[in-house]
Amino acid sequence: QVQLVETGGGSVQAGRSLRLSCAASGRTIYIHPMAWFRQAPGKEREFVAAQIGGVTNYADSVRGRFTISRDNAKNTLYLQMDKLKPDDTAAYHCATTTRVGVPLGTASSYAYWGQGTQVTVSA
């Protein structure tokens, strides 16, 4: 079992930055794919970014503004979000899986999810 807890959300103005953290417990994460997804009210869950080993994927909507990283010693995943836009407003969830070879950008690839942290960006 893996437990994931996200922190770092908040309310900011457009153009500002936030850094989200996802602390994992129950299993070391460094060998597993990890990802960030987001879900706005009334919309489907949307892929944001994922990382496994040296491979990093980003959604087109955040590429160049968001950076995913992890600290293996702390068993923690991060999402640095710069130049935030109102369209980035959503609940952000981290996810992981113990499966290998899964599509990184697909929510169904991930078995473990955090409860989410809210990000609100005002114009």
Place of tokens 């850094």: 19
* Adjacent-strand bridge partners of 23: 5, 76
Listed in sequence order, the residues at least 6 apart from 107 whose beta carbon sits closer than 8 Å to its beta carbon are: 37, 45, 47, 95
Q: What pLDDT is recorded for position 19? A: 98
pLDDT per residue, tens digit, the chain (123 aa), is 889 999 999 999 999 999 999 999 887 666 789 999 999 999 999 999 999 888 899 999 999 999 999 998 898 999 999 999 999 999 999 999 988 888 999 999 999 999 999 999 999
User: Which two tokens mark 18?
Assistant: 């936030």
